């Protein structure tokens, strides 16, 4: 599993020009390689073999393309190998139900990074300042806010230009040991995600949604101001950067919230079960698509899986259909509109918060998916479910108690009932 450490670069004006030149040269090389790749028939080999065939033509390209000699060798090779990653990404989107086409040439605004692989980069100390030495570019000041462990190996460094004009360096490392996953996790949690309450788990913890109202209002103002500027003018470019900064602030604030939330569950529990929500049809609907996009449920699922792998925690993504309708006590399904926030089972009379009921069902499905369900030969565990407060309350009293599986009392009662 690969991990990445991301740092902010502080290039000078001349270094910014070099970085932009490097980036644009890689973009042109990518577009040329894509044209050559599309002319190779599928029968010539696998995807990797066909891309490598294009990459092997780089020495001949340098004979008539002088700009390629300015690129470090691994940077040019990585620019060509991006075709393989792009094709795989399109295939994955197609498998997920998206209507995708073919790869197209990249415009300057779409190609915003280049990568050093294995070599051509190193940390250095100059004049009391940490710099990142990049081959054929120079020494760029860098803010190292956390150290990379000595036990890992840096495989590659990606230099990326943000839409705000800032430059970042991402160090992909490997060699970190994975902690072992517990065979029988003691602490397990099921998480139901939503919009009014972002997450509600089986321990009665309700996490409110991130408040981005002020950021959205500012973004609207800046976008209105941008629409009044002449496209392509200096004032338009300055305003475009302000809009990009607003987008970046929203994105970073949301991602920070999701990282902290997923990190908490991954470190506090041995098994985490969450809904595998398909947001595609929700985003295409005319209802609550903006709030659905802002919730970023697919992102939190991805981050949960990532952090669980990193911390040695079992991760289970379950089918979300019916988790709200199904009663966590007896399993009977009952329809209820969105404005009804309490679950009251018409069959057994079980009453609980709507999201808490869904969270319990998510955890139950997670147990079944992991093969931890109860067999028919063993008397099921008798459980008093947690005592949740109303949906408006924040304090929760955990009143769960579990009797021993297969207790004689339960067995006799079941026999007598027969």
What's the CATH code of the domain at 233?
3.30.420
Task: Identify whether 404 is part of a domain.
Answer: no
CA angle 74, 79, 80 (to 5 degrees): 100
HEC letters along 98-129 = CCCCCCCCCCCCCCCEEEEECCCEEEEEECCE
> Is residue 312 domain-shared with residue 249, that is, in the same domain?
yes
Output the six-digit token pair for 17.
């020009």
Output the six-digit token pair for 376.
């028919």
Output the six-digit token pair for 309.
């792998």
Please tell me the number of Cα atoms within 13 Å of 388 on its side-chain side. 25
Count other C-beta atoms under 10 Å from residue 2's C-beta.
10
Give the list of residues 6+ apart from residue 382 with CB closer than 8 angstroms, or none: 402, 403, 407, 410
- Burial of residue 171 (CB within 10 Å: 0-12, 13-18, 19+) is buried
What total of structural domains would you count in the chain?
A: 2
**For residue 113, what are the β-bridge partners?**
160
Nearest-angstrom CA–CA distance, 390 and 320: 23
Task: Identify whether 248 is part of a domain.
Answer: yes
Domain edge (last residue) among 151, 174, 197: 174
| pTM of the entire predicted model | 0.72
Closest by CA to 197, choosing from 17, 390, 347, is: 390
Task: Identify whether 21 is part of a domain.
Answer: yes
Task: Identify whether 398 is part of a domain.
Answer: no
> Is residue 168 domain-shared with residue 196, that is, in the same domain?
no
- Please give the biggest Cα pair distance in the chain: 90
> Is residue 164 domain-shared with residue 256, that is, in the same domain?
no
Output the six-digit token pair for 355.
């999201």
The per-residue pLDDT for range 169-219, each reduced to its tens digit, is 999 988 777 777 777 777 888 888 877 777 888 888 887 777 778 888 999
Task: Identify whether 314 is part of a domain.
Answer: yes
Nearest-angstrom CA–CA distance, 303 and 313: 13
Output the six-digit token pair for 118.
């294995």
pLDDT at position 253 is 85
Domain edge (last residue) among 123, 152, 174: 174
pLDDT at position 381 is 34
What are the backbone angles phi and psi of residue 107, rounded to the nearest 5°? -85, 165
Identify the segments of the chain with pLDDT beneath 70. 1, 278-297, 337, 372-418
Count other C-beta atoms under 10 Å from residue 181's C-beta.
15
> Is residue 87 domain-shared with residue 197, that is, in the same domain?
no
> Is residue 108 domain-shared with residue 234, that is, in the same domain?
no
pLDDT at position 76 is 93
Nearest-angstrom CA–CA distance, 36 and 89: 20
CA angle 72, 90, 319 (to 5 degrees): 130
> Is residue 90 domain-shared with residue 149, that is, in the same domain?
yes
CB 81 within 8 A of CB 51: yes
Task: Identify whether 386 is part of a domain.
Answer: no
CB 282 within 8 A of CB 194: no
> Is residue 195 domain-shared with residue 163, that is, in the same domain?
no
Domain edge (last residue) among 174, 197, 212: 174
> Is residue 349 domain-shared with residue 218, that is, in the same domain?
yes
> Is residue 265 domain-shared with residue 346, that is, in the same domain?
yes
Please tell me the number of Cα atoms within 13 Å of 82 on its side-chain side. 27
DSSP secondary structure letter of residue 214: H
**For residue 275, what are the β-bridge partners?**
318
Task: Identify whether 86 is part of a domain.
Answer: yes
> Is residue 143 domain-shared with residue 205, that is, in the same domain?
no
**For residue 401, what are the β-bridge partners?**
384
Output the six-digit token pair for 256.
């920070």
Q: At what angle do helices 234-268 and 297-311 cross, to 10 degrees?
A: 50
The domain of 39 spans 3-174
Give the list of residues 6+ apart from residue 59 with CB closer than 8 angstroms, or none: none
Task: Identify whether 180 is part of a domain.
Answer: no
Mode of pairing for the β-strands spanning 197-201 and 188-193: antiparallel
pLDDT at position 333 is 73
- Burial of residue 266 (CB within 10 Å: 0-12, 13-18, 19+) is buried
> Is residue 154 domain-shared with residue 195, that is, in the same domain?
no
Closest by CA to 303, choosing from 291, 317, 290, 292, is: 317
Rg (CA), the chain: 27
> Is residue 149 domain-shared with residue 207, that is, in the same domain?
no
Dihedral angle of Cα 212, 217, 218, 221, to the nearest 10 degrees: 160
């Amino acid at each position: 599993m690969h991990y990445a450490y991301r740092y902010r670069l502080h290039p000078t004006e001349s270094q910014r020009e070099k970085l932009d030149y490097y980036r644009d040269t890689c973009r042109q090389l990518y577009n040329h390689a894509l044209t050559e790749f599309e002319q190779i028939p599928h029968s010539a080999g696998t995807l990797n073999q066909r891309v490598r065939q294009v990459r092997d033509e780089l020495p001949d390209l340098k004979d008539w393309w002088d700009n390629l000699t300015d690129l470090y060798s691994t940077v040019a090779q990585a620019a060509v190998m991006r075709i393989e990653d792009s094709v795989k990404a399109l295939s994955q989107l197609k498998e997920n139900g998206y209507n995708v086409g073919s790869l197209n040439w990249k415009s300057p605004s779409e190609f915003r990074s280049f990568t050093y692989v294995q070599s051509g980069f190193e940390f250095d100390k100059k004049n009391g300042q940490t710099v990142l030495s990049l081959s054929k570019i120079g020494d760029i000041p860098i803010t190292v806010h956390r150290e990379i462990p000595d036990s890992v190996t840096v495989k590659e460094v990606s230099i990326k230009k943000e839409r705000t004009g800032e430059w970042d360096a991402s160090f992909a490392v490997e060699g970190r040991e994975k902690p072992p996953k517990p065979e029988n996790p003691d602490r397990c949690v099921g998480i139901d995600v939503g919009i009014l309450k972002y997450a509600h788990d089986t321990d009665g913890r309700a996490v409110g949604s991130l408040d981005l109202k002020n950021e959205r209002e500012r973004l609207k103002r800046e976008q209105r101001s941008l629409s009044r500027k002449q496209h392509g003018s200096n004032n338009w470019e300055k305003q475009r950067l302000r809009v990009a900064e607003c987008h970046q602030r929203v994105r970073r604030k949301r991602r920070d919230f999701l990282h902290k939330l997923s990190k908490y569950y991954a470190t506090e529990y041995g098994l985490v079960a969450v809904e595998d929500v398909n947001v595609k049809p929700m985003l295409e609907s005319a209802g609550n698509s903006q709030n659905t996009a802002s919730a970023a449920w697919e992102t939190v699922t991805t981050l949960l899986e990532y952090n669980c792998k990193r911390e040695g925690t079992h991760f289970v993504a379950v089918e979300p259909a019916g988790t709200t309708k199904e009663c966590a006590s007896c399993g009977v399904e009952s329809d209820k509109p969105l404005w009804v926030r309490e679950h009251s089972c018409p069959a057994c009379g079980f009453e609980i918060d709507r999201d808490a009921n869904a969270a319990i069902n998510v955890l139950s499905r997670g147990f079944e998916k992991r093969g931890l369900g109860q067999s028919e030969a063993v008397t099921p565990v008798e459980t008093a479910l947690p005592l949740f407060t109303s949906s408006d309350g924040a304090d929760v009293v955990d009143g769960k108690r579990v009797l021993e599986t297969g207790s004689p009392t339960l067995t006799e009662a079941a026999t007598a009932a027969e």
